[in-house]
Amino acid sequence: MVIDCQISVVVVSYNRVDALIETLAIITSLSPLPSRIVVDDNASTDDSASRVRATFPNVQLIIQPTNSGVAAFNQGVRACDSEFILILDDDARPDPASLAHAHQAMQHLPTLVAVPLLPVHPKTNRPEWREQIATHRFPMMGCANLVRRSAWLATGGYCEAFFLYRNDTDLALCFLALQTLDGSRHDVYFNPAWHAWHDSPAATRKSERWLELATRNWIWMARRHARGFDRVLGPLLGALWALWLASVSISRVARVLTGVFAGIFSPAPKLPIAVKPDGLAYRALLRKQLRRG
């Protein structure tokens, strides 16, 4: 299926050169080519930069002096000028037909600002999310998302204070809290038939770093987007789930508790002026997570 060249692609990489090269091979095989392909490398210590230069000379390469986490995505988006941007982790490869369908949907619906592609493992065909129904006002995003650049800029993109983890879901909630000119809300649409291949160890076992940062960021997300009792319930459920993932490991439990402490007692990042949550999208996220649990 043909992909309209109005799409730019932003990939952020960090020390996964083989995955990055495989992702770029898929992107550069699209017909026609995206209008721009940006790789923002987070100070990788492998040969990511040299391999990209040698193998894909037409790819725009940005090299960060240090690992800036999700801030690299924001810089990559600012380097693009197309209306639609495909945001990819370095180990995520979009299915071309799925990308074309997502792009077509966004062209026809001006209030549609993002379409997350379902992450699916390339060898097992196992989806990372259990959702089986096409859904509007979907409160999550993941490793592969087609977004509208104007909405990304209006929300500030990924919250850089998060550094890693939960930044994608936080941005979905920000998108849903953006108002249109007539006072209605913008939309994030998910269709389980539209997928991206994602081969990530983090999908099956969470690292100690994930347990700390994801727990902190989940609590921050509740403080930013939840209203009423959900501001208590959300962090509590998130902490309990992280402790369950930590199992009986003392070091892993300690990382969860460190994340809980940071999430409660450190200042939550402020929302952009344009983002005005009413708590409904966060409540939908909580219900979704409870069903998954």
pLDDT value at residue 98: 97
Per-residue pLDDT band at 244 (split at 50, 70, 90): very high
Q: With a cut of 70, say whether residue 203 has pLDDT above it.
A: no
pLDDT value at residue 55: 97
**Site of tokens 């990530």:** 200
Q: With a cut of 80, say whether residue 293 has pLDDT above it.
A: no
Q: Taking the complete model, does pTM exceed 0.85, yes or no?
A: yes
Encode pLDDT of 144-156 as tens digits: 999 999 999 999 9
For residues 167 and 158, is the Cβ–Cβ distance under 8 A? yes
Per-residue pLDDT band at 1 (split at 50, 70, 90): very low
Runs of H (alpha helix) within the chain: 17-27, 48-55, 71-78, 96-108, 149-155, 167-176, 208-225, 230-246, 250-265, 280-292
pLDDT value at residue 292: 67
Per-residue pLDDT band at 71 (split at 50, 70, 90): very high
CA-CA distance, 88 to 143, in Å (whole number)? 6
Encode pLDDT of 33-57 as tens digits: 899 999 999 999 999 999 999 999 9
115: Cβ contacts below 8 Å, ≥ 6 apart: 102, 105, 106, 145, 146, 188, 189, 190, 191, 194
For residues 184 and 127, is the Cβ–Cβ distance under 8 A? no
Per-residue pLDDT band at 2 (split at 50, 70, 90): very low
Choose between 123 and 32: higher pLDDT.
123
